[in-house]
Amino acid sequence: MNPDFQRILLVDDDSIYIQRLARALRDRGCTVIAVESAEAAPAAAVELKPQAAVLDLKLPGASGLACLRELRAAWPELRVLILTGYGSIASAMEAVRQGAWDYLTKPADADQILAALIRDPSQASREAEITPSSLDRLEWEHIQRVLNDNDGNVTQTAAVLGLHRRSLQRKLRKEPPSE
């Protein structure tokens, strides 16, 4: 455990994931405050005075990037790690451009998160870490994003994507393609 990152703020709307991650980080000697919205993050940060923050990219209300900007404005030295279930090169580059220390796709465990916070991004080639996803994977991620935006409504998602409902259902039954 790196002593520089003993206080960590977690912001994620997936309550089961955030509880497990918080417990795992506590088991590794970290003090953790977990909140489920970007709006709750600044008050929690004032209370905790974190050395690092782990933010979900897609949050209800304000996005993880908006939370990132707010936290970095108040605490410029804060190392912010972005987590997301919808990983892409574009979102990774945007997060890093806005001040994120690093970027991981879910599911990331406590050891991966601590390693990413310790790792110096300037020491490794970012291009080597971010490999382009296959077309099948990009299609699957896009479908999942649109389905999420439509609150899980398959009929509405099929209409937005211009697919027949049965075609979309077949695609949804498949496992996600490997990256």
Q: How far apart are CA 17 and CA 106, in angstroms?
A: 10
Contact 137, 129 (CB under 8 A): no
Sign for the pseudo-dihedral over CA of 138, 89, 114, 9? negative
**54-93 pLDDT, tens per residue?**
998 888 888 888 888 888 888 888 899 988 776 666 777 7
| Res. 9 pLDDT band, cuts 50 70 90 | very high
Which residue ranges form the domains of the chain, and what is each CATH number? 3-129 (3.40.50.2300), 135-173 (1.10.10.60)
**107-152 pLDDT, tens per residue?**
788 898 888 888 766 554 444 454 556 677 778 778 888 887 888 8
Q: How far apart are CA 103 and CA 87, in angstroms?
A: 9
